[in-house]
Structure 1
Amino acid sequence: MVLAAATLSSTACRDWREAVIPGLANSEPQQAQLHDRTPQPLPGHPGVTFTPRARYQNRAWAVALDDAPDDAWAEVVPLDVALAWGPVANPGVLTELSLHLKRRYVSVRWSHPLPLSEQDVMRHLSNHHLIPSTPAVMTDLELIRPGDLVTLDGLLVDLDGPAGRMATSLSRSDVGNGACEVVYVERVEVARPE
């Protein structure tokens, strides 16, 4: 679902980071462990199963995007989006960050002191490997751009298939390989500041 840009009013800026509206993505992602972890076939992808690990919802700002991953999972997981929430979802912090997302990894750098610790930055910024549950969800996911306010609802899952295994993180405090959320997206909302 794409929300009209008019729902978020702000001054048009050259740099999308300056248009981020503080307070709209303050909450931590919501996560609830699932007891039934039975692997299920992934519709439209023969030989691929997903194992639900937790229900997941996150309202955050898209800060980096890779809509053309080039790996064995590209057909199943066609989009990676780095999301920021909480204290990182603030123009005063985001304008100091250099963000890059490629080959399933997000890198973040800064050259000036931040009002947050490195741990706080990394706990409020994460790469999300996105699996659309329907063609309509895929259509909405394809609209995401850096600077959009994104709400994801779905499942954190582990994937198994011919390409191997892609396991989700269940923690927001981990970093490095294996720290990304693998999300089977059941619903998405995208809002763009003017």
Structure 2
Amino acid sequence: MVFLSSLGVALWSHWKKAQLPAPAFYDQAQLAAPRQTPTTRQPFTVQAQGILYTIEPLYDYVLEAVVVSLHDSDVISDIYHFKDWQDFINIRDLCVVWGANVRTDAFRAMSYSNTTWTCWVGPRNAPAAQWFAWDQLSNNHLLSADPQVQRAIKSAVIGDQIRLTGQLARYSHGGGFQRGTSTTRTDQGNGACETVYVERFEIIRPANPGWHLVYRLSLVLLWGALLGLVVLFFVAPVRGLRG
């Protein structure tokens, strides 16, 4: 009973923790359009796992937005970043929305998913596509070689209101790999993603903290109950024979 109950709670809380909060949850004053300004920062190099990367800043960039989907570059299914490209500084992609998409609740009428390169967006119902502002969404390839910044980026979850500062940048390494960046929010399709070298990353408002806690606790209870079942499976027959 403990195992089944904790399994049910884990499944329910896993679904609930990924739900996007209502517009009133967010600080709308900090969800304006991204700020892109000319940069004075010169090209520089960073190193990660023995690879030397050249970063070419194009613009200083400030992004305040709500996370609607994400992709971790270090998952087993993503063979491109690590095996094919040796790209160890693009640690995560965040698909985000801001502005009227959040204020009018249009963002919750859409569905989102991320793959290695792309944020896929579609309407949950037919009218949703008419409300949604496509120039108030972006998929961001986030670069960092700073462990503290990396931890902050990796701590973000769906629904969080985040703020990042850094530079829109091109980057490359000596193995022949290179990637550019979009410099406008109005493009779509291949090449429309922003590549950002992140200097600072903050979570302004964490989404669904209660459900995230319930999910973690239910997993602990689930694994404990599973271990108990395994022990009973092997111990109980022995005790029965001895009786």
2:43 is matched with which residue? 39
2:126 to 112, 125, 132: 112
Q: Does 1:66 align with 2:71?
A: yes
SS class of match (1:95)? helix
Paired letter, 2:181: T
- Larger strand fraction of residues: 1
Structure-2 residue corresponding to 1:144: 156
SS at match of 1:83: strand
Structure-1-length-normalised TM-score: 0.82
Aligned length: 179
Q: CA deviation at 1:94?
A: 2.1
2:62 corresponds, among 42, 57, 63, to 57
Alignment-derived partner of residue 132 in structure 1:
144
Unpaired stretches in structure 1, ≥5 consecutive residues: 1-12
- The answer (yes or no) to whether the contact 2:106–2:131 under 8 Å persists in 1 is no
Q: Which has the higher contact order (CA 8 A, sep 6+)?
A: 1
Match of 1:17 in 2: 20
Kindly, what percent of the aligned residue pairs are identical?
26
Greater share of residues in helix: 2
Query: When the two structures are superposed, what TM-score results if normalisation uses the length of structure 2?
Result: 0.67
Which of these residues, 176, 194, 198, is aligned with residue 181 of structure 1? Answer: 194
Q: CA RMSD in A?
A: 2.3
After superposition, residues 84-123 of structure 1 pair within 5 angstroms as 84-90=97-103, 92-110=105-123, 111-114=125-128, 116=130, 120=133, 122-123=134-135
Kept in 2, the 8 Å contact 1:169–1:181? The answer is yes
Unmatched tracts of structure 2, length 5 or more: 1-14, 209-243
Correspondence for 2:33: 28
Q: Which has the larger radius of gyration?
A: 2
